[in-house]
């Protein structure tokens, strides 16, 4: 399992619009990806309800994890989405 921790870049956190972009990319990854806030329970990163339920705000640290064959590439793309301010 490969993990990557990043801080949320969107000014208003991971609300509906950036969460939709993120979950679509996670679903397209071709392997299961999880998202975890702090010590909380990891959720399916492709589930918009799961992602929104985490209540992720600007500056929060989250951990992505996957066991995909191309894990580094998958996590690079997803991390970039999380680091980007989609509210600018």
List active site positions: 15
Residues 38-55 as b or e (16 or more Cβ within 10 Å = b)? eeeebbbbbbbebbbebe
Contact 31, 67 (CB under 8 A): yes
């Amino acid at each position: 399992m490969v993990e990557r921790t990043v801080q949320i870049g969107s000014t208003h956190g991971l609300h509906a619009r950036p969460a939709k972009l993120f979950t679509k990319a996670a679903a397209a990854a071709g392997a299961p990806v999880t998202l975890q806030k702090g010590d909380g329970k990891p959720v399916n990163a492709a589930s918009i309800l799961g992602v929104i339920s985490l209540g992720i705000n600007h500056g929060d640290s989250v951990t992505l994890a996957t066991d995909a064959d191309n894990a580094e590439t998958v996590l690079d793309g997803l991390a970039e989405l999380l680091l980007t301010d989609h509210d600018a």
